[in-house]
Amino acid sequence: MVVQLSYRKSLRWIPGEPSEPTSTLVLDVGDYFVDLRILKADASIDWAMAGKRTILSSSPLKCQWSKEICSQNTEAHDDIGEFEDLPNGDALEKGSMPNPDNNDEVQAYEEVWGSLEVPSSDQPAWILRSKDGNGVTYVGKVGDWFQVLRKKEDGTFSVLRDEKVNGEWVKRYAVGEELPSMTSSGEEAFSPKGWQQDKDIRVGGATYTVYALEKA
């Protein structure tokens, strides 16, 4: 199954020029994803979404992303992209999706993606989905990266990204209300020992379903 960390190098809305105004990191584990895009200019949310990733074809690789939560409220629109391997090892994604800078008109795009190494570990990668509380929360960890996305019933969106650096967790981005984090709770609070795929667990007083649990 899939365990990967992807970061975006550039976005191009056809026929415009490529640019990268965000810090974008996507956690893929099994059939699920947690995608957080933070604007570099002011550390605000550019786009945040989480849900299910479906492989429609393998040659060429074509994927569909069904968003359960989305900061731009485009849950009703599934995104579909086709990938091409580039000579330098990056991946070129082509497809169409709503462009928030163009009144959410569906527009053709090209994105260039790089990948971060996920070191082998006895600790699996995972994605959790909340079962209680106000709204929906996705929590994901792959290697040294941890992301949380929460959409409340009133549409309010909060996000968090932590990175493990030299053995210590560091908060990279936090927008909105306080969320579960490695920096405040510690890694032991999210120990996957005893977790099982599709089963419910308790973490920090909240109930989650283990949506994805995979060895790197």
> Which residues face 109 on adjacent strands?
13, 95
Is it the case that residue 1 has pLDDT exceeding 80? no
> Which residues face 80 on adjacent strands?
64, 96
For 166-187, write each residue's pLDDT tens digit: 999 999 999 999 999 999 988 9
Q: Locate 147 and state its tokens.
A: 């992301």
For 9-68, write each residue's pLDDT tens digit: 999 999 999 999 999 999 999 999 999 999 999 999 999 999 999 999 999 999 999 999
Give the chain's domains with CATH numbers.
Answer: 3-116 (2.40.128.320), 125-214 (2.40.128.310)
Is it the case that residue 216 has pLDDT exceeding 90? no
The torsion angle over the Cα atoms of residues 10, 6, 109 and 77, rounded to 10 degrees, is: -140
Mention every residue, 6+ apart, whose C-beta is less than 8 A from residue 197. 30, 210, 212, 213
